[in-house]
Chain A
Amino acid sequence: MSGGAAARGSVLAGLRVQLRVIGALTLRELGTRFGRDNLGYLWLFVEPALLGGAIGMVHHLSGHGLPGGLNVATFWVMGYIPYYLLRGIINRAPTAIVSNQSLLYHRNISVFDIILARDLLEGAAVGGAMLAFTLFFGMTAGQWPHAPEKMVIGMVLMLAFCHGVALLIAAGSIYTEVFDRVVHLCTYIALPATGAFFMVFWLPTDLQRSALWIPTVHIFEMIRDGEFGSQVPTHYNVGYVIAWIAGLNLLGMAAIRRGRHDLVI
């Protein structure tokens, strides 16, 4: 994938170059996105907090709780943060190549490296927000996760899934501007279906079956299993999600490879 060394030397040398490149790209991305006079990272905390607070207030005023007696703010915030990761990665995918095009002058920087560096950074930032809110709910409401490792795995699966989608979108953006136009719309329209704000056991049986076709529904269920444990029933199949991730990433890498060949810089 990356440059001269990979072609010439061993796979190991190539891998070393690629790791170096991804490290450098991540550092640079960190500087431009969350740099000195950029308060972008603040929104990572403010947005879920506002949403959780506002909806918690609505529930409080209307006197209705959530099925299973779940804590309202925890439910919404812990649904919103993984969705935030999905939206952040997918919405930014169409501009991933354009905004880094000048870096492709370096033969050992590949499109894959650029997108991976961006997504890893997004994952680390959103993961940080997730951790902060987990600690917050733990310390203020005594609501500690039942199985934190399931939440971590869930977030990693979400990252891998979105990365695959981002590769495909970025490859598509080489050929058409359509993705740039519709991707924001799509992530918003898809919001109710992603599973961010409902649980499978709330649905009637036949709708449950349909919902479980959607890979992200499994991921949200897994994160909630980690958060709430046996307090509510959860439905998910990790194998199904991994199959999706493998498929999307393989297709994505093939598409990027093809697209790089046709890319005019």
Chain B
Amino acid sequence: MIRITDLCKTYKTHLGPKTVLSGLSTEFRHGEKVGILGRNGAGKTTLLRLIAGVEGYTSGRIERRMSVSWPLGFAGAMHYSITGADNARFIARIYGKPIDWTVGFVEDFAELGEYFRLPVRTYSSGMMMRLGFALSLAVDFDCYLVDEVIAVGDSRFGERCRAALAERHARSTLLLVSHQAETVRAFCSSAAVLQDGRLTRYDDLDEAIAAYHAA
């Protein structure tokens, strides 16, 4: 379970403080597949980063009672000057996973061909995303934080991601942020709308999507 209480995040900018999240409270339980809908700049990515612990927050509280992935997106989590294989070895060491198994798994899942043995900086954004997703599946988290990523990948890979997540359906939690209702409909069983720094949860997907379009 992840419990968020009164979460606030303010960034310092040249134009003064900018509040992105103001008093957000919610709870994500084991096995939930929640889509978080929000317009560009609503703070979706920020919310994922705070849940993942990548950035600190201004006030409030986040309790993590399960293992939470890093935010899966185009950037981050990898080292760009080393190869995909070396990244897999690195991740295996960091998270205490068997090294050979991890490298094999990531190579199979990411399907990068010979690029797997080339530095990550030579990858296309789609390839980077595939590597990132494969790395996170190798670690086997309880909760996956996904930043619109699957929608952007080619459809075959999207299908495999969905299958991989479905396989873990019972135990893994998914938090997917997107500005597209279709993506959320494809992957999630409930949804929430992020607006004005707060999150409104809906048990019913259609209700959430309707509220999102109305906003």
Interface locus among A135-143, A162-170, A257-265: A257-265
Q: Which residues of A contact B56 (CB under 8 A)?
A: 260-263
Q: Which residues of B contact A28 (CB under 8 A)?
A: 79, 82, 86, 90
Q: Which DSSP category, helix, strand, loop or mixed, fits chain A's interface?
A: helix
Q: Does B203 contact A (CB under 8 A)?
A: no
Q: Which residues of A contact B76 (CB under 8 A)?
A: 102, 105, 265
Question: Judging by beta carbons under 8 Å apart, are A102 and B77 in contact?
Answer: yes
Within 8 A of A (CB), among B57-89: 64, 67-68, 70-71, 75-82, 86
Question: Judging by beta carbons under 8 Å apart, are B82 and A32 in contact?
Answer: yes
Q: Does B196 contact A (CB under 8 A)?
A: no
- Interface residues on chain A, size class: 20 to 34
Given contacts A23-B93, A105-B71, A261-B56, are A31 and B86 in contact (CB under 8 A)?
A: yes
Q: Does B207 contact A (CB under 8 A)?
A: no
Total count of chain B residues near the partner, CB < 8 A: 27
Given contacts A20-B93, A28-B90, are A103 and B79 in contact (CB under 8 A)?
A: yes
Interface locus among B46-54, B153-161, B171-179: B46-54
Q: Does B41 contact A (CB under 8 A)?
A: no
Q: Does B210 contact A (CB under 8 A)?
A: no
Given contacts A20-B94, A24-B93, are A105 and B52 in contact (CB under 8 A)?
A: yes
Mark interface residues in B12-52 (1 if CB within 8 Å of A CB, else 0): 10000000000000000000000000000000000001001
Q: Which residues of B contact A263 (CB under 8 A)?
A: 55-56
Say how far A143's CB is from chain B's closest CB, in angstroms. 41
Q: Does A125 contact B (CB under 8 A)?
A: no
Distance in angstroms between the alpha carbons of A24 and B49 in the assembled complex: 23
Distance in angstroms between the alpha carbons of A31 and B86 in the assembled complex: 9
Given contacts A23-B93, A265-B49, A265-B54, are A32 and B81 in contact (CB under 8 A)?
A: yes
A sample of 29 cross-chain residue pairs with beta-carbon separation below 8 angstroms, ordered by A number, consists of A3-B53, A4-B68, A17-B96, A20-B93, A20-B94, A20-B96, A23-B93, A24-B90, A27-B90, A27-B93, A28-B90, A31-B86, A32-B79, A102-B78, A102-B80, A104-B54, A105-B52, A105-B54, A105-B77, A107-B68, A107-B70, A108-B94, A261-B56, A262-B12, A263-B56, A264-B11, A264-B55, A265-B49, A265-B76
Residue numbers of B with Cβ under 8 A of A are: 11-12, 49, 52-56, 64, 67-68, 70-71, 75-82, 86, 90, 93-96
Known pairs A4-B64, A105-B70, A108-B94; list 9 more (Cβ under 8 Å). A20-B94, A21-B94, A27-B90, A28-B82, A32-B82, A100-B79, A105-B71, A262-B12, A263-B56
